[in-house]
Chain A
Amino acid sequence: MAYRQLFNVALQNSRRSFASSAGHSAHGESSKTWRNAFYIVGLPVVGLVYYNAFYLMPQHPERPEFVPYPHLRIRNRPYPWGDGDHTLFHNKYYNATSKGYDEGSEDLNPAKHHH
């Protein structure tokens, strides 16, 4: 019967939270509290984090030199698409194939296309 007690405890907890929020609803205020938390606290914080991510932090670093490490760019069998050497989210500037960076990709740094 232990499992039954466990389920009952879990359900009582959910019922209790249910009941307490229903109790609040008599005053009709708890959704306003959460809506205010969203608009007054949440949105400005996310705005700041957005500003930090796109305007304060460094964007689009230079790519590292290609080194044919044996533990990277593993191709046990070719990918079933394309030439079998480019990954699904292949970035011409940042991602090398097993043979190295694609030819003519040195000037494709996304930072250069911003201005």
Chain B
Amino acid sequence: MRQPFHLVEFSPWPLLISFSIFSMPIGLINYIRSSSISLLILGLFTTALISFLWWRDVVRESTYQGFHNKLVMKGLKIGIMLFILSEVCFFFAFFWAYFHSSLAPSVEIGAIWPPTGIFTLQAFQVPLLNTSVLLLSGVSITWVHHSIEEGNYKSAMQGLFITILLGLYFLMLQYGEYSETMFSISDGIYGSCFFMATGFHGTHVAVGATFLIVCFFRLKNFHFNKNHHIGFLAAAWYWHFVDVVWLFLYVSIYWWGSFQNSLTLKHWFCNSTMIFFWKKNNSNFKKSIMGNMCMIKDMYWELFMETL
């Protein structure tokens, strides 16, 4: 490696994984539209396989061939930062859709948020537990990081094991939540936004947990040392990123998005406008407004009971 460039080995994986990633959305659309699942399964399988082989190659370059000199380490860090930046943009889009639809709720959904007929999850029940579990895993992964830098092998192994368990516990809790929601992904804009954002977050947690499991076995096999543990650093950055995304999801979707009883002048204005349009006498429209009015009555009742 006596040249000033970040060049390690010729690799077939970037090109091949482009094909397999492209076949995933095509396969998904094909599955939804013509019930043929084979291309989707092929895409998922080849993507997983190529990710495995690519990571294996990077581990070999780093641990067994010693190609990861200072310059390559610098390049890898920049690469990870840019990758996480692209992930920020990815989630930014879902938050944009969510706030676009929730800050000025349209007439079709009852001009309120959450929409008429949507009963949200309780933010201070399991979602709060999820928040605390992820924050705790952020503490434990920092404990691992410090242990690695101090060369404390045993402490690092313990901390990493606990972090992985917390990640898996989060996924378990989310599965429990998903199977008890009173709405589904096809329940209009609320269901779409909720399941798109939290579902992608959940898959990111699954990927982050996989990354941590890989790090666990690399740590076990002494792949990391005090000043060279880029693989772990990447997993930790990714894990913190996933954690931060959850905080935004929790505050905006679970918590703020469930303020059913925080009625403001805005809501009354929207409803009085709707009663004006009600005179059009569209039966579906009438039904949704009736539901809306009933809900507002119920909300005021709840608010009244809470103040007692």
A34-B143, A69-B117 are contacts. A64–B182 as well, Cβ < 8 Å? yes
Whether A42 contacts B136 by the Cβ 8 Å rule is yes
The count of chain A contact residues (Cβ–Cβ below 8 Å) is 50
Residue of B at shortest CB range from A70?
B284
Residues of A within 8 A of B180 (CB): 60, 91, 94, 110
Whether B143 contacts A77 by the Cβ 8 Å rule is no
Asked if A67 is at the interface of the complex by the 8 Å CB criterion, the answer is: yes
A64 to B152, CA, bound (A): 55
The count of chain B contact residues (Cβ–Cβ below 8 Å) is 61
Task: Select which of B118, B125, B135, B186 is within 8 A of A53 by beta carbon.
Answer: B125
Residues of B within 8 A of A49 (CB): 128-129, 132
Whether B128 contacts A71 by the Cβ 8 Å rule is no
Of B10-18, B30-38, B46-54, the segment with at least 4 beta carbons within 8 Å of chain A is: B30-38
Whether A46 contacts B136 by the Cβ 8 Å rule is yes
Whether A74 contacts B188 by the Cβ 8 Å rule is yes
* Chain B nearest CB, measured from A90 CB (Å): 7
A33 to B142, CA, bound (A): 10
Whether B182 contacts A95 by the Cβ 8 Å rule is yes
| Chain B contacts with A in 241-289, Cβ cutoff 8 A | 284, 287-288
Q: A42-B140, A69-B291 are in contact. List 5 more A-B contacts (CB 8 A).
A: A30-B149, A38-B162, A68-B287, A71-B110, A77-B32
Asked if B220 is at the interface of the complex by the 8 Å CB criterion, the answer is: no
A31-B152, A91-B181 are contacts. A71–B108 as well, Cβ < 8 Å? yes
Whether B185 contacts A87 by the Cβ 8 Å rule is yes
* Chain A nearest CB, measured from B168 CB (Å): 15
Task: Select which of B109, B117, B178 is within 8 A of A89 by beta carbon.
Answer: B178
Residues of B within 8 A of A80 (CB): 31-32, 35, 37
* Chain A nearest CB, measured from B306 CB (Å): 13
* Chain A nearest CB, measured from B296 CB (Å): 15
Of B55-63, B74-82, B88-96, B210-218, the segment with at least 4 beta carbons within 8 Å of chain A is: B74-82
A63-B182, A71-B108 are contacts. A57–B125 as well, Cβ < 8 Å? yes
* Chain A nearest CB, measured from B215 CB (Å): 16
Residues of B within 8 A of A67 (CB): 117, 287, 291
Whether A31 contacts B78 by the Cβ 8 Å rule is no
A24 to B142, CA, bound (A): 14
Residues of B within 8 A of A105 (CB): none
Whether B143 contacts A38 by the Cβ 8 Å rule is yes
